[in-house]
Amino acid sequence: MALYDHDGASPYRLRNWFVPSSSRTTGTPAESEWFGVFVGIRDYLEAADLDYCGKDAYDIYREFRSLGMPAENARLLIDERATKADIEEAIKWLARVAGPEDRVIVF
């Protein structure tokens, strides 16, 4: 999976900047953790459907999990599980669990 910077011209791999705390080689306790909320809404009532949003959210979630993000540090919200209330609760959860040194992704 390749991610691109803001201009789309410089590809870089997720693995280049995602270093889970469990795999750091400094020998010191982890100072930060990764947390993520991954949202994909495909079906809209009053707008055209976006066919790949759910798949994209799942793929990004799965990539972060494969790189070591613990399941308890991630929330995956797709279609009917991505209501306004669900998304608001996930953001509140991030505010409760993520500390000042932690890294957060909202997709």
pLDDT digits (tens, 9 = 90+) for 72-97: 999 999 999 999 999 999 999 999 99
Least Cα distance to 81 among 36, 42, 49 occurs for: 42
For residue 69, the model assigns a pLDDT of 93
Whole-number pLDDT of residue 18? 54
CA 59 to chain centre: 10
From the list 34, 37, 48, 52, the residue with the least C-alpha distance to 82 is 37
- Range 48-72 burial, b when 16+ CB lie within 10 A, else e: eeeeebbebbeebbebbbeeebeee
Q: Please check whether residue 86 is in contact with residue 93, taking contact to mean a CB–CB distance below 8 angstroms.
A: no
**Cα(95)–Cα(105) distance, integer angstroms:** 12
- For residue range 50-63, list pLDDT tens digits in order: 888 999 999 999 99
Reported as a single tens digit per residue, the pLDDT across 11-58 is 445 555 555 554 444 444 456 899 999 999 987 778 887 888 999 999
Cβ atoms of residues 34 and 72 within 8 Å: no
The position carrying tokens 């953790």 is 33
pTM of the model: 0.73
